[in-house]
Amino acid sequence: MLLPPITAEPIFNIGSFPVTNALINGWIAVVLFIIIGLIAKKRKDLIPKGIHNVFEAIVEFILDTIQTVTHDRERAKKFLPLVGSLFLFILISNWMGLFPGTGSIGVYQFHHGEVELIPILRPAASDLNLTLAMALIAVIGSHIFGIFTIGFFKHANKFIQLGTLWSSVRKGGINIFIGLVEFMVGIIELVSEAAKVVSLSLRLFGNIFAGEVLLTVIAGLVAFFVPLPFMGLELIVGIIQAMVFSLLTLVYLTVATEKISH
């Protein structure tokens, strides 16, 4: 029984670009999104029918959930494309990792002088590159929303308070010390922004990769029936991790677009 390696394995190359099994899984999820989007776009009736009822219910549920955090319908609508896309993509890619054949159907390749079976499909979120990219999108996106909502200088003043420092220097005395403290707090806030990227990416990657290892071990010990409860548990984990990632992103967006009251 071979445990999955911590890094995604390349299946083939496009020029010098390696296409990994996790990337293939991600591409399939994106194609599913495009197909679903095209189907949803075809609705012409004012009152949705059939499958469009499901699409509308999902969108309304996500929008209402976002509004419970923002307490603002307009901001909720602005955040919906980013937060909703992250939630649905992570959810679908996590559940796709439980499809039959994922992790078991593959191609044989030579590695270190030995022939190994490399799975064609691997859960997309079990690749740290993907989770890191999504975390960067979430954190950078929150700053972009903040800049466009409250302005560049007001948003930047949440971190590096140069105006406050200069004002403190002009006043002199104890104000200089207070200004320096506030300036250092801003530097710490910048460090915390980098920590957000690390925590978001590692949390999602660690949980999905650990689940993949668990299922591999269980399936290696007992192939039939016993893995089923663990697969059900992974379905729940897939939902939870998608919700945690998207809700944290929503919190970052909400905080970044809050105006500072003096």
Which tens digits make up the pLDDT trace of 11-27?
A: 888 888 888 888 888 88
User: Could you tell me which residues come within 8 angstroms of residue 32 by beta carbon, excluding any fewer than 6 positions away?
Assistant: 92
User: Minimum mean pLDDT among 94-103, 138-147, 172-181, 193-202: which range?
Assistant: 172-181
Query: For residue 173, what are the contacts with CB-CB under 8 A and spacing of at least 6?
Result: none
What tokens does 183 get? 């300036």
d(CA 60, CA 66): 10
Q: Identify the residue with better confidence: 141 or 188.
A: 141
- Which class for 105: exposed (0-12), middle (13-18), buried (19 or more C-beta within 10 A)? exposed
Higher per-residue confidence, 59 vs 41: 59
User: What is the reported pTM?
Assistant: 0.81
Question: Is residue 242 pLDDT above 50, yes or no?
Answer: yes
- pLDDT above 70 (res 111): no
Q: What was the pLDDT predicted at 262?
A: 47
Q: With a cut of 70, say whether residue 98 has pLDDT above it.
A: yes
Render pLDDT for 124-169 as a digit per residue (tens, 0 to 9): 888 888 999 999 999 999 999 999 988 887 887 777 765 565 566 5
Name 39's Cβ contacts closer than 8 Å, sequence gap at least 6: 51, 55
Compute the distance between CA of residue 253 and CA of residue 247 in angstroms, rounded to an integer. Answer: 10
Q: Please provide the average confidence, as pLDDT, over all residues in the chain.
A: 81
Report the percentage of the chain scoring pLDDT > 90. 21
Instruction: Map tokens 């591999």 to a residue.
Output: 216
Mean pLDDT of the 66-94 span = 90
Q: Give per-residue burial for 136-158: e unless 16+ CB within 10 Å, then b.
A: ebbbebbbebbbebbeeeebbbb
Q: What is the distance between the alpha carbons of residues 237 and 2, in angstroms, rounded to a whole number?
A: 23
What's the pLDDT band for 32 if we cut at 50, 70, 90?
confident
